[in-house]
Chain A
Amino acid sequence: MPVVNWRYLLSAVFGLSIRIASLFAIVALLGMFLQMLVVAYPILAPSTLVSSQSMSAPRQYQEGLNRGLAERVERLEFIVSENWQLQGVKGDEWSWVQPSSGLRLEASELPKDWLFADAVGNNKGLVIFANDTLHHFHYLSSDQAGDAPRAGLVQAHPFTGMIRLLVGHPRLPVVAIAGSDNKLQVVDFRDSDALLSIALEQPPDALVWRTTAQLDVLADGQTSAYEFTTTDIGGAWSRLFTPIQYEGYERPSLLWLPLPAAEEAEPKYSLVPLLFGTLKAALLALIFAIPLSMGAAIYVGFFMSEFQRRRIRPALDMLAAFPTVVLGAIGLFWIAPYFEQIVSSLIGVVIIFPLLLLTSVYLARAFGLRLVNLDALDDWPLTLMPLIIGILIIGSVIGLGITSKLPGNSLYAYLTSLGVSVSYFNSLLVGLVLGVAITPTVFSVAEEAIHAVPKNLASGALALGATPWQGYRDIVLPVALPGIIAAMMIGFGRAAGETMILLMLSGNTGLIDGNVFEGLRSVSASLALELPEAPRDSSHFQVLFVMSILLFGVTFSVNTVAALIRNRIRTRVRGF
């Protein structure tokens, strides 16, 4: 009887379970992206129109018959606002009418030779069929109160064929059209290339949108229902990125308004303001983080001795122990209320810092103080501590002094007088706090890159009479540069995905505005704010998934490029 080798058996089981577990982990991690695509995909699905027997129920449509059979109607009235109506007479002009005063003004911007017209999109828009073209108009409020409204053309869409009936969708810029050839068509102005049509058995007497998703066709006293399925972007994914002329807006705009105030208004899903906000916050964060982290990385990675470096790195890494939610709270309570003063002080420090540092160093040497041994400067940061605290204080005082001398006696008053709007939660504040959050990451990666450059290269330069700075700049920096760039990219990725700080400090206003004193809204904050509220499988939910896929893709590819750069430098350095 063979002896069972338990040791062997145990390890074999172990090996097998390793394979299974790692397969599971890899599938989970890589499948994540796939799963998100699956959830988000329906947003890109085109609209459909299908006959739906189950929905058909006999019902009387008195007003529908009257309105739907527009062919027989010579005169139409639409309520535009509280005071104004739009009236059209077939073959004649359109006019704005104020019923209270009886005032009547010509609406010359609307086509005269119209055949059909109907309201669309919650009475904010108007579809007019004239000259073989479907015109989609929307109403714009007048510049001055009391003036007549205006109508602006959103889109014109050529349409050939005879029309029997034309009915506008109650929520979206969509019209249902019954042609003389017994064809039922749904024209979607959001994606006018997509034509949905279904052949009818007999010429319809009326078309009625019973709900936003159901179209009833009345023919011969019979009602048949058709189901119109669409997403909020109507299958036109370009609406996520390009300026859209929404009803009621002066010009095509990029807007993120997934939950518009007016019920049944069209939600607006432009991702551009959010991407812009993310980019703006990340770049500002880099501006604040780079001087701090790069300066520290150069010093610790190049000028410091190995012994001292091992002691100071953990101290610097302690900044990473502040989770971003803590930094956000600090920003909220200790930075935002004093932000004007902080910015003023920072301006002063930036102006005064190089000046004071240079003079003090120069003075020290001019008076023959043998302050330092030029090549080994291990205690320099500690030696400099009083000087730096002094410079910070003097710089702040000077900065505050300068800004109080500005017209208006304060920085914000001055900026406002220049026409720069300033909000309490602004991008600069976000950038500052976000900069602190990414500093440990950028420092750590950059420092490793600089430290990886062999020391003997630098000593070669020093032996030729290069100063330590020249040795760094001419010899070490070119080798470490890819790693430093990678560090910035990784920092950018971190900043772009950071959520809590943006949620707490950015004001979450979806503006596209280069002004750093205005707020912003980022992709990550939108995800955290809106996803818990968005109904599952709604267009809003799916658009949020599209957004997270974008953020995933951007951060993942930025990190991949950074990793490739770092791998290359690693092999290059090994070549020495």
Chain B
Amino acid sequence: MLATTRTAFLQRTRWQRLRSLTMISVSASMVTATLLLTLGLFALLFISAMEWIFWIGEGGSADVASRLRDIALARPGLESSVIGLVPAIVGTVALVMLMTLFVAPLGVATALYLSEYARDTWYTQLIRISITNLAGVPAVIYGVFGLGFFVYGLGGQVDQLFFSDRLPSPTFGTPGLLWAALTLALVNLPVVIVAVTEGLDALPEDLRQASAALGATKNETVFYAVLPAAMPSVFTGLILSTARAAGEVAPLMLVGAVKFAPSLPVMTTAPFIGLEQKFMHLGFQLFDAALFSTVPPGGIGWVATIALTLVILIALLNIVAMSLRSVILRRQAVDSPF
């Protein structure tokens, strides 16, 4: 019965195939467009930045060396809004490292607790789902919380207890490095917990059983068998969270980043780190330069230079995390039964 319609049917398949090819081409071109977009944005920043850096003569700089020195270390002046990037990079790195100091133990401990210790009840499920979804809550909300709780709440208490002689001018009761790091730690805590939990869930159950079969207690199993095996995913999660922290500006506007800080939050003498100080941050510097910079020629080039520095920093962190992840995937592929 079908055979009688075979010619019409051949005609029909031709149209179907053409439509298929068109739809595939459309979706493929979206891949191309996304790649082009990424490349284009990067090229835009790169060319603008390079043009500005190497632009010498009228309206430009005297020579490349002095331009580079300005980019690194210039202090704010009237004639130029170029403020050296080195303090901002130092501030960003100090912030990110301090944040990692908070987020690493808390994140790993929570992930271990949730997937190794906690019994599977409705409320642990609820906590798990909530933590996953907290990763999608906008960072500015954490900034609001950080301002309300850390700066005004905790900071005010600390001032009253330890720095009452300096009141009413606040020491810790004002935005600063410590509160910014704690706030960013909260922003990234769910990210790290989710990444580590996924790594723990991917570990074969045999590992735990084998350890238990050797007479290890629960704690010993987690400490000596599970944690070392999960270390790669811990690092991936932490690196991804630092990449995110380096690019996150909104919460910092509320809890401590400033356009220009007269001194670095890092010192060569004790206590080595100024926890209560305000600090400079690459992302915030970019925001400030983009909105308020008034350098007449090359204003765009200066913005592009900051943006490029930030993008390269984050891309490098991402690449490290991705290669780490692919190494893990390859290692797990060997173990997997497929």
Binding site for B on A (CB under 8 A): 7-8, 10-12, 14-15, 17-22, 24-26, 28-30, 32, 35-36, 39, 291-296, 298-300, 303, 310, 312, 314-330, 332-334, 353-354, 357-358, 361-362, 365, 372, 374, 377, 380-382, 384-385, 387-389, 436, 439, 443, 465, 467-470, 490, 493-494, 496-500, 503-504, 524, 527-528, 531-532, 536, 544-545, 548, 551-552, 555-556, 558-560, 562-563
Q: Which of B126-160 contact A (CB under 8 A)?
A: 127, 129-145, 147-149, 152-153
In angstroms, Cα B138 to Cα A353, docked, is 35
Known: A8-B220, A559-B136. A22 touches B113 (CB 8 A): yes
At the interface with chain A, which of B76-84, B199-207, B265-273, B309-317? B309-317
In angstroms, Cα B315 to Cα A322, docked, is 8
Question: Which DSSP category, helix, strand, loop or mixed, fits chain B's interface?
Answer: helix
B74 at the A interface (CB under 8 A): no
Contact of B148 among A30, A35, A300 (CB under 8 A): A35
Enumerate chain A residues within 8 angstroms of B23, measured Cβ to Cβ: 469
Enumerate chain B residues within 8 angstroms of A293, measured Cβ to Cβ: 30, 34
Contact, CB under 8 Å: A528 / B140: yes
Contact, CB under 8 Å: B30 / A296: yes
Enumerate chain B residues within 8 angstroms of A312, measured Cβ to Cβ: 31
B186 at the A interface (CB under 8 A): yes
**What's the minimum C-beta distance from B111 to chain A, rounded to whole angstroms?**
8
Contact, CB under 8 Å: B36 / A389: yes
In angstroms, Cα B304 to Cα A496, docked, is 27
Q: With CB as the reference atom, state the residue of chain B lying closest to A20.
A: B109
Q: Which of B301-321 contact A (CB under 8 A)?
A: 303-304, 307, 310-311, 314-315, 318
B71 at the A interface (CB under 8 A): no
Enumerate chain A residues within 8 angstroms of B37, measured Cβ to Cβ: 292, 319, 436
In angstroms, Cα B140 to Cα A544, docked, is 12
Contact, CB under 8 Å: B110 / A26: yes
**What's the minimum C-beta distance from A326 to chain B, rounded to whole angstroms?**
5
Contact of A499 among B28, B34, B134, B138 (CB under 8 A): B138
Contact, CB under 8 Å: A18 / B117: yes
**What's the minimum C-beta distance from B117 to chain A, rounded to whole angstroms?**
7
| Interchain residue pairs with CB less than 8 A apart (23) | A8-B219, A8-B220, A12-B217, A18-B112, A18-B222, A19-B117, A22-B113, A299-B30, A316-B38, A318-B38, A321-B311, A329-B290, A332-B290, A380-B24, A381-B35, A388-B33, A524-B140, A527-B140, A528-B250, A528-B254, A548-B141, A556-B136, A563-B132
**What's the minimum C-beta distance from B3 to chain A, rounded to whole angstroms?**
14
Known: A469-B20, A499-B138, A551-B141. A317 touches B286 (CB 8 A): no
Contact, CB under 8 Å: A315 / B138: no
In angstroms, Cα B184 to Cα A264, docked, is 38
In angstroms, Cα B319 to Cα A22, docked, is 29
Task: Beyond A316-B31, A436-B41, A527-B141, list 14 extra A-B contacts (CB 8 Å).
Answer: A26-B131, A29-B186, A296-B31, A322-B41, A323-B310, A326-B286, A333-B303, A354-B26, A362-B18, A436-B37, A467-B20, A548-B145, A551-B141, A552-B137
Contact, CB under 8 Å: B247 / A323: yes
Q: With CB as the reference atom, state the residue of chain A lying closest to B308.
A: A326
In angstroms, Cα B34 to Cα A30, docked, is 37
Enumerate chain B residues within 8 angstroms of A329, measured Cβ to Cβ: 286-287, 289-290, 303, 307
Known: A319-B34, A357-B25. A524 touches B186 (CB 8 A): no
Q: Which of A11, A25, A324, A362 has the most CB of B within 10 A?
A: A25
Contact, CB under 8 Å: B27 / A298: yes
Enumerate chain A residues within 8 angstroms of B253, measured Cβ to Cβ: 528, 532
Enumerate chain A residues within 8 angstroms of B246, measured Cβ to Cβ: 323
**What's the minimum C-beta distance from B235 to chain A, rounded to whole angstroms?**
17
Known: A374-B21, A384-B25, A384-B32. A323 touches B248 (CB 8 A): yes
Known: A334-B44, A381-B32, A532-B253. A469 touches B24 (CB 8 A): yes
Contact, CB under 8 Å: A32 / B26: no
Q: Which of B140, B310, B311, B315 has the most CB of A within 10 A?
A: B140
Instruction: Give the 3 A-B CB pairs with smallest separation, nearest first.
Output: A497-B138, A323-B247, A295-B30
**What's the minimum C-beta distance from B194 to chain A, rounded to whole angstroms?**
11
Enumerate chain B residues within 8 angstroms of A17, measured Cβ to Cβ: 109
Contact, CB under 8 Å: B311 / A11: no
In angstroms, Cα B135 to Cα A493, docked, is 11
Contact, CB under 8 Å: B113 / A372: no
Contact of A361 among B16, B18, B223 (CB under 8 A): B18
Q: With CB as the reference atom, state the residue of chain A lying closest to B306.
A: A329
Contact, CB under 8 Å: A323 / B249: yes
Contact of A493 among B105, B136, B153, B307 (CB under 8 A): B136
Q: Which of B237-252 contact A (CB under 8 A)?
A: 243, 246-250
**What's the minimum C-beta distance from B121 to chain A, rounded to whole angstroms?**
14
In angstroms, Cα B179 to Cα A403, docked, is 52
Q: With CB as the reference atom, state the residue of chain A lying closest to B106.
A: A25
Enumerate chain A residues within 8 angstroms of B135, measured Cβ to Cβ: 559
In angstroms, Cα B313 to Cα A326, docked, is 12
Enumerate chain A residues within 8 angstroms of B24, measured Cβ to Cβ: 299, 303, 377, 380, 468-469
In angstroms, Cα B226 to Cα A11, docked, is 12
